Structure 1
Amino acid sequence: MIKKYLFFTSLLCLNAFAQTGVGIGTTNPQQQLHLAGATGTLRVEGLNSTNNPYNGGAGKTYPLYVNSNGDLTLQLATFQNSDGTDALTSSTPLITTNLTMIAGAGSSTQSIVILPYTITVNRAAVLEIKYNISFNVYSTAVLTKIKDIYARRISTFYTVDGGSRRYGQASKCYYNNNQDIVLANAAEGTMYNSSTTYIPLTAGTHTIRFYGELNTGDVRKNTHVVFAPDNDSVFMRLY
């Protein structure tokens, strides 16, 4: 009976102490777990380089995250990460990513949605977006080379929830001045626009739309831009 009584008393003391917190190096814990002292730290061997594949080894440090269960982890979870695969393929929910301008009257600036992406967050957050979008520039839809004296500006950007503000703007200029040369070998090949931005989001569902834009100067010129012909990447992460 004495042993049972002592054991029961110990449990009562432990529970009473646990309700106020556990202190290491202090008798007055201010949190449920309180490590006191100027050099106090915490070691979790399940997160070291021997036991965790997301730990790259000695001499380096890595961000620590918390998953939905409250577990500490080194694994980075993202809303979108193409991670070397092509983010814009035939399975992307679009009719076309080609933009064609015909010479004549009208605006010399045209744009097209390259990729719409919907994201839902349950708290106010900051969204990091990195993208790399490829494109080719031609004179016509049959992929004729451009051989004139006019420059083309090819831009990419994205909007949030259909707003007018442009985020992550990037541009390249394509130009050939060889129309008087019969056998001119006009430059061709794939070019890329890349950008990294951080934007604030309120709680709720938001639509991110990536755009491609073409400008031919003061007047419209025959131009055909093929967006996403090569390996493209999109990365999104919440903070």
Structure 2
Amino acid sequence: MKNQYLYLLFSSAIGFSQVGIGTSNPQEELHVAGNNSTIRIESLSNANNPLNDGIKNARVYVDANGNFTLTPPNYTAGGSGYGNLPINFLIDVPNFIPDNVDGLPAPYDSLGRIINSDLTQETVEGFIFSATFTVPQSCTVEVKHGVTIVISGSNMLTPSLAYINDSKTRTIQTFFCFDINNDGLSPAEKALQYGHKGQFYCSVAGGSLGYPYMNSQGYATLPPGTHSIHFFGIVQDPPNSFTSVGFGGATDYLKLRVYN
């Protein structure tokens, strides 16, 4: 009797090319009926797939064989560098500003990009660093970044480091701009400044050296294509004061996320 049931089931599967779940009248090869019906593929769960963090919904792709997967095309394993990342991240770059952009000798090789405001200046703006990325379609992009700062009363490019102990206040700011199509930052693109963040530094009699930390974020709507993001720093100090600021000498981060 058992063999007869198996035979009937097998022949039924051969005779019908459509399978229905919740319906006796399937309209496709696989038809899942019901207004609240769901499908679960356990190989894509966060317990079985490292690209599913279990918090945000993960985007499912279809590979050349028709298989469902969470791995996007050209995905770079490890989650670092400028490769494609899972879910909705464009880039996720730890320590994106090189610690020794200006190529200084040790022990001055962890100062980042140095911007000086000398005795004749009160406000100085300078370029820090840029990164290139690709946007697959028109979308809103969220930028989050954190930058470390080291402050000195002497020119760190000489190189040297000196405590500031004049009890005067300095301000340090960062912002970023987008170079659309990565063909050179135009004056119009430079005028669109995002993510302005600043903090002040006021020395005491003993002075201070170290790595203050500040972070910021901003949003922009971008067209599809390959673009670049450019970071700038601003140093402001009182008249007849010398201030040297290194942007990115310790551990920094940069994250770009897309909202479709």
TM, length-normalised to structure 2: 0.67
Task: Pick the aligned partner of 1:111 from 125, 134, 140.
Answer: 125
What root-mean-square deviation, in Å, do the aligned CA atoms of Structure 1 and Structure 2 show? Answer: 3.4
Go from structure 1 to structure 2 and tell me whether the alpha carbon gap of 1:211 and 1:53 turns closer, same or farther (over 3 Å shift): same
Contact 1:136–1:227 (8 Å) recurs in 2: yes
- Structure 1, unmatched stretches of 5+, are 1-6, 179-184
Go from structure 1 to structure 2 and tell me whether the alpha carbon gap of 1:97 and 1:113 turns closer, same or farther (over 3 Å shift): same
Go from structure 1 to structure 2 and tell me whether the alpha carbon gap of 1:67 and 1:197 turns closer, same or farther (over 3 Å shift): farther
Inter-partner Cα distance in structure 1 for 2:177 and 2:236: 19
TM, length-normalised to structure 1: 0.72
Aligned to 2:57: 63
Contact 1:158–1:167 (8 Å) recurs in 2: yes
Q: CA deviation at 1:175?
A: 0.7
Task: Pick the aligned partner of 2:135 from 121, 124, 139.
Answer: 121
Q: 1:45-84 counterparts in 2 under 5 A? A: 45-55=42-52, 61-67=55-61, 69=63, 71-73=68-70, 76-77=85-86, 78-82=89-93
- Count of residue pairs brought into register by the alignment: 209
Identity %: 26
1:140 equivalent to 2:154? Answer yes
Inter-partner Cα distance in structure 1 for 2:55 and 2:71: 10
Q: Could you list the per-position Cα deviations for residues 77-120 of structure 1 after superposition, in whole angstroms to 9, with x for gaps in the alignment?
A: 233213xx42222586999710111112x5x2212221111222
Aligned to 1:100: 116
Task: Pick the aligned partner of 1:167 from 191, 194, 202.
Answer: 194
Letter in 1 for 2:43: G
Contact 1:63–1:74 (8 Å) recurs in 2: no
Go from structure 1 to structure 2 and tell me whether the alpha carbon gap of 1:204 and 1:151 turns closer, same or farther (over 3 Å shift): same
Q: 1:46 aligns to what SS in structure 2?
A: helix
Q: 2:36 aligns to what SS in structure 1?
A: coil
Aligned to 1:194: 215
Q: CA deviation at 1:138?
A: 1.1
Inter-partner Cα distance in structure 1 for 2:141 and 2:154: 38
- Structure 2, unmatched stretches of 5+, are 1-10, 73-84, 105-111, 180-184
Contact 2:115–2:245 (8 Å) recurs in 1: yes
